[in-house]
Amino acid sequence: MIGKKSETITEDEAALYDRQIRLWGLDAQKRLRSSRVLVAGACGLGAEVAKNLVLAGVKSLTLLDHRPVTKLDLIANFLVPEDCLTQNIAEASQERAQDLNPMVEVHADPDQLETKTDEYFRDFDVVCITNCTGEEAMRINNICRQHNILFYMGDVLGMFGFMFADLGDHEYVEEVKEKSETEDASGQKHIVEETKMVRRTESFVPMSQALQVDWTSNKYASRLRRTTESYFMMLTIFEFQSLHGRKPDASQRETDIAELLTIKNALMDRLSVPREKVGNQFASLVFGQLSPVCAIVGGVLAQEIIKAVSQKDQPHNNFFFFNTSDGSGVVDNIGM
């Protein structure tokens, strides 16, 4: 995707995206205008990501989700009109997403993510998976790596949210300020500061490698203390989904809290990580999708996609965690 030819910006597009072009440059906007993005999961988080990317001016955005709209979706997903209850959520979200920017092609796909083959994902330059199991995300990540497709995965569970990125070997440019000494005609010396564009490369690991870390190794045992508890919360939720085929459900709150703690303790023992690394209070905070958390994580996720597509500035490598229990947003590189 990175090496493909950028599309021409029309006069109307230049006027619409004027502020963005001033911010990140014409070439970056052309790359955005050439990008085809898949957002799988039209949940609260998916709606935030879709909104930001459509407003940024990608070429096309496809919303993929097979689920019917529920009452909870009407609260979490602002793209869904109130009269669309029980309709397909991707199709119900399409019109409002399209209204955000008529210059972007917005499509809806009501199929199930698990049914999509390798060929389906090859039609996109960026694949962003939300509201998905860890196993399915790893499957799609492997497909994306094989075909040089930028891959993102994220989710929000109550007061907790995260994102993961795998961009392969990603090239980008970064502004660097350099100081140099010059001498004027009178012989007086001056310090001059210049801004130069420096090309860099950032290497990413697949999601499977980032989730299968040996915490007893010298490298990671020494990092354990400063590694956020949110990483282990994410692993616990992935295991819960794998065992039960669903996320923690508020209608089964007490039962699911007990199950989450059982899974967490067994997981930490298996990883040889002290149980107290993750406080037990987390289990009561991972139900539903809170709109403010979706907005924060979705804003970061969309901004990372924009950075990667435009090839401007260093991307987050490879996790971002947001946890309202301590108000922290943490970027961490795990699995390298």
Set out the domains of the chain in order of their start, with CATH numbers. Answer: 11-169+291-332 (3.40.50.720), 172-200 (no CATH), 211-284 (no CATH)
Query: Tens of pLDDT along 12-24?
Result: 787 888 888 887 7
Mutual orientation of helices 26-33 and 291-310 as an angle, nearest 10°? 110
pLDDT beyond 80 at 6: no
Quote the Cα angle for 183-186-189, to 5°.
30
**CB-CB contact of 192 with 182 (8 Å):** yes
* One-letter identity of residue 92: A
Per-residue confidence (pLDDT) for residue 2, from 0 to 100: 47
What is the DSSP track for 271-311? Answer: HT--GGGS-GGGGGS-SSB-HHHHHHHHHHHHHHHHHHHHT
Tokens of 68: 């019917």
Contact 297, 162 (CB under 8 A): yes
Question: What is the rounded distance in angstroms from the CA atom of residue 64 to the CA atom of residue 4?
Answer: 25
DSSP string, 141-202: HHHHHHTT-EEEEEEEEBTEEEEEEE-SEEEEEEEEEEEEEEE-TTS-EEEEEEEEEEEEEE
Q: How many residues does the chain have?
A: 336
Pairing outcome for strands 189-203 and 169-183:
antiparallel
Question: Given pLDDT bands bounded at 50, 70 and 90, which one contains residue 7?
Answer: low
pLDDT at 187: 75
- pLDDT value, residue 3: 47
pLDDT in tens, 232-278: 999 999 999 999 999 999 999 999 999 999 999 999 999 999 999 99
Kindly report the pTM of this predicted structure: 0.91
Q: What is the pLDDT confidence band of residue 298, given thresholds at 50, 70 and 90?
A: very high
| Lowest model confidence (mean pLDDT) among 70-79, 168-177, 191-200, 220-229 | 191-200
